[in-house]
Amino acid sequence: MKQARCLRCLLLAAGIAIIAFGLVASPVMAAAPAAPAGIKVGAVVALTGRMAAGGKDVKAGYDLAAKDINDAGGVMVKAYGKRLPLDVMIVDDESDPVKTATRLDKLNSVDKVVAYLSGFSSDLNVVGMAAAEKNKVPWVGVTIAVEAPFNSGYKWVFAPFSMSHDQVKAFFDLLDSIPADQRPKKIGHLELNVDWGNECGKYVREMAKQRGYQIVVDQKYAPPTNDFASAILALKSAGADAVFSVPAPPQSLTIVKQMKELNYAPKVTCLIRGPDLSTYWENMGKDAAYIISDGNWDESMTYPGNKKLVDAYKAANPGIENIGIPVGAGYAAVQVLANAIERAGTLDRQKIRDAIAKTDMMTIRGPIKFRANGTAVIDYGLRQWQNGKNVLIWPPNATKIKVILAPPWDKR
């Protein structure tokens, strides 16, 4: 009997120990669930069609950033207690906004991405933002400058990029910096008839009036337009010595070619989109000289990691001398997203979204924070093609290079 009682006591003690171990161990096991193979991020980008030149630059930035992050071990995700690689899934929308939406929906419902990166151009990105908001997937976007969606109550979209107001203000700030006896005073405005172009047009008219410039031509054109001869002749006849527009990349080639054909050479030509791409000089040669465009990023920036990006891009593209703005902007967008995922410590979309909103970090294109509406607090610049290089000319606190006023075509 005594031996039986002892055996029962031992069994009871063992049972208690097993239960106790289970109570202690189960929370530990629950705190470290099986980790996924990687962090799925989706991007629908124009790799073919009319926006392909810009889309390829954006993709290059995403690819280089993901490679650098993964080569360094990936993104630390506290919920899994380990670093995970970024898996950036890039899909071509063929420059078709309908395909932008449907392919983002698939990345959400089938591929289960935790976040979106943008495509190229405001036209396509406006559609992407709506898809992100509908699917409640955090979206980090570049080459988006139209402000209206950010003022419509969206909660899931963020743009570490300049907006319409920034771009037009930089244009007029640059004009104001030119000595008065050389400064263009007659503005020609060609307004791309899409949301971004319309917003810029509103600001061009407001700021011209405020700063004492005369708008002598103010014409709209449609996205498919490929003949600008009548508009250029109107600019020439009116004596417009500065031109502002935000064309699609192919249009930025056509406008300048037709300016040359019609012997129209304003002192300042600012085409925000198109001349900022890697292939512009390749397509235009010396006719690209003096054209001013977007300066959201530049090779010369001295922020941490920027030189590494420049060297890596040139090593991968040995024939390219000039790097398009979207390469650096895309790289910075991946930095912002990876930083937010690490701070969130989880792959939960809502927590990643909340972490993006609290961003306060240094990227290869400078410090970035976000306003409550998802737009960024960033410095904005302009670049100009000078001597075969696209160089930063604005703002003056970031560069010592000055704008060069364009001479007549027969003096180049």
Structural domains of the chain, with CATH: 39-162+303-377 (3.40.50.2300), 165-295+381-411 (3.40.50.2300)
Tokens standing for residue 56: 């390829």
Angle at CA of residue 407, ends 402 and 410, nearest 5°: 150
pLDDT along the chain (412 residues), means of 10: 45 43 44 86 97 96 98 98 98 98 98 98 96 98 95 96 96 98 98 96 98 98 97 98 97 98 98 95 96 95 95 93 94 98 98 98 96 93 96 93 97 94
The three-class DSSP label of residue 267 is coil
Q: Side chain identity at 41, as an amino acid letter?
A: V
Tokens standing for residue 219: 């014409």
CA-CA distance, 97 to 51, in Å (whole number)?
Answer: 11
Q: Can you give the pLDDT at residue 31? A: 53
Q: Can you give the pLDDT at residue 32? A: 60
Which residue, among 316, 294, 310, 301, has the nearest Cα to 363 in the 3D structure?
A: 301
Question: What's the pTM?
Answer: 0.86
Other residues' Cβ atoms within 10 Å of the Cβ of residue 379: 17
Q: Can you give the pLDDT at residue 379? A: 82
Q: Can you give the pLDDT at residue 168? A: 97
Longest dimension (CA), the chain: 118
